[in-house]
Amino acid sequence: MNPSDPRLLQRDKRARFLAAAPDWRASDARVNPRVAIGSIVAMWLLYFLITTGLALLSGAPDQWAYVGRRAIVVAAGIFCTFLLYQLLQRVQPRSFGARLATAMGAAIPLVIVYAAVNLLVFFYWFPSEDTHKIIAEVQAKFPVAWEMVLILDSSIRWYFFFAVWAALYVAFGYANEMRAVERRANNYRLEAKNAQLRALHYQVNPHFLFNTLNSLSTLVMRGSKAEAEAMIMNLSAFLRTSLAIDPEQFVSLDEEIALQRLYLDIEQARFPDRLQVEVEVPSDLEGACVPVLILQPIIENALKYGVAPSKGKIGVRLAASHEFGLLVLRVENDVDPSVPMPEPGTGVGLGNVRERLLTRYGPAAGCEWGRSDSGGFFVSLWLPLSREGC
């Protein structure tokens, strides 16, 4: 096959894609800005409402005067938390532990800034009656750096408030990352599934081509020009159709049987006196959806092990039915008792059918085969009955 064949190139690209290690992307761990900013505003607004409500319920004097001061520090808190968000958005270590440690560390300077604003608002700009008493008590213990002591004390208390939001942000980001990893894993599994379907689809039986070409040679040597031309046209139509069809495609049962008739027309030229085909499909099942060419390996086996070694007329029967919401397809072929049984095959063809069904439908579909009651051989497959998507 030509190395530049698009199918080969796409297969190699898919193989490299599936073999590559999952990449880590910092963008996966970022939180939606609306969610992040909304959580900041909601957290500080909740703090404002709770502290104001508790102060009013406790009956503390001049609480309405504190509402404006508290609104200023809440605005400062929103601003500092927003700066923390901007920093965390740009710094995304790969491991969760490093990410959390970065968030906890980045909160420290911003808490100090917030504590300094809190000191300015309540001790310098809008002092209350108790402010001077508090300052005097702190100055008595720390006469030189009493402002720093108040800032550090406030920072320790407020740090946990900032740390909770930072941990929440990291948790949101980690959840986003896990969802992205899961999406990529699902994509990998889907690609693997599609690659498997394609690999199973392109397993063309070389014996079919070999036998067909031998039959063509016999027809040509015999001078059967019309039969040879008909076989060539049927072979061309069958190969063009089977190789051009997307293996992930669904077709109606009626279309699938039409494809198999192309193949059977080819084999009919090889076995004009031995092959007898019967198809029994109820009209209400003709539109049922099936994976394209799912019957091909089964029909091939029926001809290879039933018709080819026989000397008399051999019947190949295809029947469809529905049971408990399942579409059941059964292919049965006679066996000539007067000829030795051919050696059993490798099971690749029927294994192919079973794998395609399991890959596409899981345990809801299956395939079995064995001796029929009449002494021939049967293959039965079942899959969910659906008339949509084909």
Q: Look at the chain and report how many structural domains it folds into.
A: 2
Note the pLDDT of residue 384. 93
Percent of the chain with pLDDT over 90: 14
Neighbours of 212 (CB within 10 A): 21
Do 333 and 370 fall within a single domain?
A: yes
Does residue 316 form part of some domain?
Answer: yes
CA 316 to centroid of chain Cα atoms = 40
Percent of the chain with pLDDT over 70: 77
Domain termination site, one of 178, 198, 218: 198
Do 194 and 211 fall within a single domain?
A: no
Is there a contact between 25 and 180 (Cβ–Cβ < 8 Å)? yes
Do 259 and 359 fall within a single domain?
A: yes
For range 102-117, the mean pLDDT: 89
Structure tokens at 157: 């208390």
Q: What is the pLDDT of residues 339-370, one digit of tens each?
A: 776 665 545 678 778 888 887 888 889 899 88
- Under DSSP, is residue 311 helix (H, G, I), strand (E, B) or coil? coil
Note the pLDDT of residue 21. 44
Do 177 and 72 fall within a single domain?
A: yes
Q: What is the pLDDT of residues 34-69, one digit of tens each?
A: 888 898 999 999 988 888 887 777 766 666 667 788
Do 231 and 288 fall within a single domain?
A: yes
Does residue 7 form part of some domain?
Answer: no
**Of residues 171 and 243, more confidently modeled:** 171
For range 145-154, the mean pLDDT: 80
319 - beta bridge partners? 280, 330
User: Does the global pTM surpass 0.85?
Assistant: no
Does residue 335 form part of some domain?
Answer: yes
Domain termination site, one of 168, 198, 228: 198
Do 81 and 179 fall within a single domain?
A: yes
Structure tokens at 55: 């102060």
Do 355 and 229 fall within a single domain?
A: yes
Does residue 353 form part of some domain?
Answer: yes
Does residue 178 form part of some domain?
Answer: yes
Do 329 and 295 fall within a single domain?
A: yes
**Of residues 343 and 330, more confidently modeled:** 330
What CATH number is associated with residue 273? Answer: 3.30.565.10
Do 164 and 222 fall within a single domain?
A: no
Residue-number span of the structural domain to which 337 is assigned: 203-384
Residue 299: closest CA among 255, 340, 256, 254 = 256
Domain termination site, one of 170, 198, 226: 198
Neighbours of 266 (CB within 10 A): 23
Do 310 and 247 fall within a single domain?
A: yes
For range 88-106, the mean pLDDT: 82
Phi first, then psi, for residue 127 (nearest 5°) are -70, 150
